[in-house]
Structure 1
Amino acid sequence: MDEPLHNPKLDEHPDSNTEKDPDNWVSGGDPMTGAQASYLTTLCEEAKVEAPSADLSKAEASKMIDELKQKLGH
């Protein structure tokens, strides 16, 4: 019987880079993506808060998404 191939992406390592801090993203300073803008709009409506300005960076948008998801219990 053959053993399944090892998938290093499934290893659980404390130093894993699967969830980098947005402040450490190479492209974190780039403008937020359309998907981020859309999701933020939806979350802001659900949380009954004002949507952010369109000039957020990817990192800023990601942080705001995480905060709103936590606030809303997602």
Structure 2
Amino acid sequence: MVHERIEMNPDIMGGKPVVGGTRVPVELILRKLGAGMLPESILMDHPRLTHDDIHAAQAFAADYLADEDIVYG
């Protein structure tokens, strides 16, 4: 699936997925959300981000996990 807001470039953050035009990794956004941080607080920490960028990070992660192989015991 194509995610227009998320980019991967080996010259930016070692190729990790980041929000386009920033150096903010998808992983960082997800970790902050997982720790209970509200999107508004993330936006205050990273003023170049938007609510749509946070949603794009979540959608990217969901699509990535949907393509993972499931291994049972």
Normalised to the residue count of structure 1, the TM-score between the two structures is: 0.28
- Larger RCO, structure (CA 8 Å, separation 6 or more): 1
Normalised to the residue count of structure 2, the TM-score between the two structures is: 0.28
Q: Highest Rg: 1 or 2?
A: 1
Pick the structure with more strand per residue.
2
